[in-house]
Amino acid sequence: MSPDNRAERLRTLVASRQPGHGLPGPFQWDEAVHQQDMNRIWRSGWLFAGLSCEVRKPGDWLRFDVDTDSVVVIRGDDGVVRGFHNVCRHRGTQVCLEDAGHAVSLVCPYHQWTYARDGSLITCRGMHDIDKAALGLSPVHVRDAEGLLFVSLADHPPDFTAAFDLMAPMARVQKLAHAKVAKHIDYEIEANWKVVWENNRECFHCNVNHPEYIKANYDHYDGDEASGAIGASIATATERSQEKWGDSPLAATHPDSGLTQFPDPERGTWFSANRTVLVPGFVTESLDGRQVAPLMGEFDDPDVGVARMRTLPNFWCHASCDHAFTTRLAPAGPRRTRARASWFVHRDAEEGKDYELEALLPFWQCTSEQDWELCRRVQRGVESSGYIPGPFSKEKEFNVDAFVRWYLSKLTDA
Amino acid sequence: MSPDNRAERLRTLVASRQPGHGLPGPFQWDEAVHQQDMNRIWRSGWLFAGLSCEVRKPGDWLRFDVDTDSVVVIRGDDGVVRGFHNVCRHRGTQVCLEDAGHAVSLVCPYHQWTYARDGSLITCRGMHDIDKAALGLSPVHVRDAEGLLFVSLADHPPDFTAAFDLMAPMARVQKLAHAKVAKHIDYEIEANWKVVWENNRECFHCNVNHPEYIKANYDHYDGDEASGAIGASIATATERSQEKWGDSPLAATHPDSGLTQFPDPERGTWFSANRTVLVPGFVTESLDGRQVAPLMGEFDDPDVGVARMRTLPNFWCHASCDHAFTTRLAPAGPRRTRARASWFVHRDAEEGKDYELEALLPFWQCTSEQDWELCRRVQRGVESSGYIPGPFSKEKEFNVDAFVRWYLSKLTDA
Amino acid sequence: MSPDNRAERLRTLVASRQPGHGLPGPFQWDEAVHQQDMNRIWRSGWLFAGLSCEVRKPGDWLRFDVDTDSVVVIRGDDGVVRGFHNVCRHRGTQVCLEDAGHAVSLVCPYHQWTYARDGSLITCRGMHDIDKAALGLSPVHVRDAEGLLFVSLADHPPDFTAAFDLMAPMARVQKLAHAKVAKHIDYEIEANWKVVWENNRECFHCNVNHPEYIKANYDHYDGDEASGAIGASIATATERSQEKWGDSPLAATHPDSGLTQFPDPERGTWFSANRTVLVPGFVTESLDGRQVAPLMGEFDDPDVGVARMRTLPNFWCHASCDHAFTTRLAPAGPRRTRARASWFVHRDAEEGKDYELEALLPFWQCTSEQDWELCRRVQRGVESSGYIPGPFSKEKEFNVDAFVRWYLSKLTDA
């Protein structure tokens, strides 16, 4: 397709979306849309890559693939975490094949071009007349929000300051920079990445689909509750939290049932964070509400509710008193989304002694896998010629609509 | 590709077909041709979906996938069988994931939008300001020819009257509406759907490839027989049948060796039916010619030959005195065709007592699988740049040529 | 995409390659580039298909697939080896499904059209009014260079004389026409075919990646050697070989370390051959340098070094005193390359008595598989949006640059 044809086709497609309704089907499977998504969103914004504690020592690295792109994040000898395209500057070989590792230097297996931990080319055996200074690994931007690592493949990424200011205090008290990985589980969801976000942006589906999740959280009550008892309970608990924790980032900030409003497409907001109380009887997001690992971070009291953070297009996090759970997304073509689910605990906690994976994982493993199956069913449906985008609920799907508006604004942005 | 380019390309391709010869290669693998096939044929005509006895009771449903489309056929509380796109009107989720089932109502697993058995939206929890009457499951047309269920994805499907009039009497005497499924076998044939039909429309390949089939049938004798003995035998047997059964639909109607002429593209005929005698010694299509199940339908005499029905683009049926065999096709992309082979017996027949699958299945299972392998080899050959469409035999492949003419007329139809 | 768009796109892509640097990424995965590769290179030049000893007797045939094309090479009753598209002229069925076989005649399984060993149509049962003389299997050109069989899918293939003159003497002394297959191993490399050639055209990567190969050969010393001792050793050994063998094709012809210069794009040279000495202590390409099979061909002395031949786009061969090793490539789409690795020994050698596969195979099996893994890593890297083609080493990658120039000249050739 010529560029003109493609642009025209995208304009027509965008125009075909009816306000307050879902995205027309081709957004979820068309190759031209997918390339636009990659350029306008995935290669433009900030992407969560992992936690800085995953690259704790100089030479520690982790890898993050975004569709056909691959990024390596590595801590330098100066302690700074940097990111690079995982592509040798000589013949294009992928330098790191594993998920993570530790390296004195990054050596391409093909001809042993050797890059320092800061990405600079230090040796290229047998090539004498090249400008080594110009041939370091291609850098990608990195920001560290007190342990939350974000990368950007853009030449000129958007400003990160406001996102940092919002998330850093929460990450700091949780000491995410000093945590340790308890477990990664990697998924390949059979759905377009936007289907995954639309699923994430409402808890209207929780009652029936997430029996574990709704025992601990209030999200599914969006305006549903006739008696007012739930709302009163949340308000009381939030007030108590604010009295107890005052101005500290441990105070609950979300006194309502239901999800916080996110994103805010009219202001271009792609990040948000808040702290919520848990249902009485739950001190953490576990199956029975009991603590499943030692207290994390600066906590000497489990009564901290859940810190929640999310950034578009690829990150959400729930951090309780004893563990933090993150989800990192990335497309793998228009019909697949890779998701890495990660559990983090206090650095000194020992598996088998201080925590058991059988207690730590199920809450979010069940919830995640329930969602991936729902997304798979949505993907199959929206690929049908019989699919007609339906109306969103104003009470319960305002965030899905906001996500769609945010998405379309990015896609058509000049 | 722009619409103009695509239309021009299809015109050129259609024009490149030489009369009396096979379709040029791209018809069997090109994505643009496939989309045209879907629009002009698969989403325009009538598609066999199954037998009404598969949805015997109100709430019984079956599912039928056509490429990326999915249809649910369900019997309502009023006993009427209806069809719907298997896509929730809310967010597009596929409502039914299994092949078949029974449901009090069709409940979308995502947000529990609930549809009555007639497709109307009865509850959409928590959404107050929507027009429920406008949000029932999208209907597809359904026709029931005395037990043979056909659906159409078209807005304005072609008239079904003549097809009904031809097939209904045969289906009625066989009591297809009151039969039961003995077995479904699902295949994915590695060939374009047109290769499968070209295979079906001649028995020139039968002698060597279908040792089981040719023992029971005369199809493979197309004009081949020098002595005239076979022709005389068929004529005698057909005459005998007509004397015996008179005007009833049990009388053989096809007094010739070889296949009946079908389709008739110049008249736009997409359906046909006839009754043929079997080779002496065979009362049914089984390996040894002996009955393999109790008599079906209204029969009290096994001497009814074989009722044969076929409709384009996706159905053929052979019904003997004791069982009926159907094949339901659907594309799965340009290079794959799904085929469901189904065996039906008298409703009261009990497996293990009245019939054994080991005796019932082999005749058509062998014949079908032999054909699928031939189709696979054709597909591999016609994808070659060295493929040159060859001439059809006027004596033996007149129906293949007719199929190709029918196909091209549909494809280029305005 | 319209033809005009495609041509324009290819021109832009070709123009974007910087001299002395690698090919831009899309050359290794774009579907339009791949179709151009097929037309301009794979369906234009000469392709190695196998050895004539693989089709030793009349009726012996072998099959060779090139992307979606399939070729059958068969020896006729007159002893001549011919090639044909493996596609029946009737309905396009693939005639031969196996890798190789022996046939009295080639019979299409579908309707038994029967072709003589010279490709002519001899029977087409039941079709009376066709011109059999016009419906033989579509021939492809074949050349036999003293046992090396080449085919061309082109209407007018390039002249083969010079290639014959260069390779035939080497093939003759090795008696490739009278050898026997010891083993075929078939691979599917996860890389574009050009990545495989770029790997083949330098031994800069050998030191670290091919521990077996570099023990026997000098290729990896390209200009690297400071002391001059290696160069002197090669020169001495080559001189000794030339004194010993004089004008015979057994004399070493390549007195230098490193690879011979190939291809020569400015002269359009797509073939070359030379004989090299082995490292002292190695009489053949085996793990320990000891003979692994009886002497081949006309040899009564193992001291013949290694005869090396290569032709673009799909062949290389290393023939030592006791065995010959060939690699035959073919694309399988833009991201995959099929490779057949074959080992040949003296016709009378018996496995288990005269040679053991465990000793014969590892040298080239290890080397090949090491390369395929490198190619896989290159493919993954060059698919990244972060890939920037890097500079080739003038000392060590001159042949890779020559290959790229040859490739681009073919692609843009009118």
CA pair distance C304, C245, nearest whole angstrom: 9
CA pair distance C151, B372, nearest whole angstrom: 32
**Distance in Å, alpha carbon of C89 to nearest chain B alpha carbon:** 5
- The DSSP bridge partners found for residue A65 are A70
Minimal Cβ distance to A381: which of B71, B93, B130: B93
Q: Which DSSP symbol is given to B384?
A: S
Q: Which DSSP symbol is given to A283?
A: S
Element at B71 (helix H, strand E):
strand B69-75
C142-183 pLDDT, tens digit each: 999 999 999 999 999 999 999 999 999 999 999 999 999 999
In a mutational test of the B interface, the residue from C5, C43, C87, C91 whose CB has the highest number of chain B CBs within 10 Å is C91
pLDDT at position A187 is 98
CA pair distance B82, B63, nearest whole angstrom: 12
pLDDT at position B226 is 63
Q: Which amino acid is at A58?
A: P
**Cβ within 8 Å of residue C389, ≥6 positions away:** A92, C17, C18, C21, C22, C23, C24, C25
Length of chain B in terms of residues written:
414
pLDDT at position A386 is 97
Q: Do A92 and C25 touch (CB under 8 A)?
A: yes
User: Which residue of chain C is at minimal alpha-carbon distance from A134?
Assistant: C390
**Distance in Å, alpha carbon of B141 to nearest chain C alpha carbon:** 36
In a mutational test of the B interface, the residue from A374, A384, A388, A398 whose CB has the highest number of chain B CBs within 10 Å is A384
Q: Do A396 and B126 touch (CB under 8 A)?
A: yes
Q: Do A126 and C223 touch (CB under 8 A)?
A: yes
> Around Cβ B342, how many Cβ atoms within 10 Å?
20
| Tokens 């991201």 found at | C335
User: Which residue of chain A is at minimal alpha-carbon distance from C222?
Assistant: A126
CB contact A110 to C (< 8 Å) = yes
pLDDT category at B256 given cuts 50, 70, 90 is: confident
Sign of the Cα pseudo-torsion (B240, B242, B246, B248, in order): positive
B327-351 pLDDT, tens digit each: 999 999 999 999 999 999 999 999 9
Minimal Cβ distance to B138: which of A22, A209, A388: A388
DSSP strand E in A170-244: where? 179-189
Q: Which DSSP symbol is given to A70?
A: E
pLDDT at position B222 is 67
In a mutational test of the A interface, the residue from C23, C201, C385, C392 whose CB has the highest number of chain A CBs within 10 Å is C385
Q: Quick check: B329 and B339 in contact, CB under 8 A?
A: yes
Q: What angle do CA A383, A387, A388 make, to 5 degrees?
A: 140
pLDDT at position C393 is 94
Q: Do A386 and B85 touch (CB under 8 A)?
A: yes
Q: At what angle do helices A3-15 and A398-412 cross, to 10 degrees?
A: 160
CA pair distance C126, B244, nearest whole angstrom: 35
CB contact B89 to A (< 8 Å) = yes
Residues in chain A with pLDDT values less than 70: 1-3, 222-226, 414
Chain B, window 130-159: residues with a beta carbon less than 8 angstroms from a chain A beta carbon: 130, 135, 138, 140, 153
A13 — phi, psi (to 5°)? -65, -45
Torsion of CA B91, B93, B96, B98, to 10 degrees: -170
**Distance in Å, alpha carbon of C138 to nearest chain B alpha carbon:** 7
CA pair distance B118, B106, nearest whole angstrom: 10
With H, G, I as helix, E, B as strand and everything else as coil, classify residue A335. Answer: coil
Q: Which amino acid is at B32?
A: A
- In whole angstroms, how large is the CA radius of gyration of chain C? 22
pLDDT at position B145 is 98
Residues of A in Cβ contact (< 8 Å) with B114 = none
Q: In whole numbers, what is the pLDDT of chain C averaged over residues? A: 95
pLDDT at position C26 is 97
Q: Quick check: B360 and B339 in contact, CB under 8 A?
A: no
Task: Tell me which chains share at least 3 CB pairs under 8 Å with chain C.
Answer: A, B
C242-286 pLDDT, tens digit each: 999 999 999 999 888 778 899 999 998 999 999 999 999 999 999
Task: Tell me which chains share at least 3 CB pairs under 8 Å with chain B.
Answer: A, C
Torsion of CA A75, A79, A84, A86, to 10 degrees: -20
Q: Which DSSP symbol is given to C301?
A: S
Q: How far is CA C17 from CA A30, A130, A222, C23, in A?
A: 29, 18, 57, 6
Report, as an integer, the average pLDDT of C319-342.
98
CA pair distance B341, B146, nearest whole angstrom: 20
- In whole angstroms, how large is the CA radius of gyration of chain B? 22
In a mutational test of the A interface, the residue from C378, C384, C396 whose CB has the highest number of chain A CBs within 10 Å is C384
Residues of C in Cβ contact (< 8 Å) with A135 = 390-391
Q: What percent of chain B has pLDDT over 90?
A: 89
Q: Quick check: B150 and B47 in contact, CB under 8 A?
A: yes
| Tokens 């001497």 found at | B303
**Cβ within 8 Å of residue C249, ≥6 positions away:** C169, C170, C172, C173, C275, C307
Q: What is the ipTM of this complex?
A: 0.95
Report, as an integer, the average pLDDT of B188-214.
96
pTM for this prediction = 0.96
pLDDT at position B1 is 55
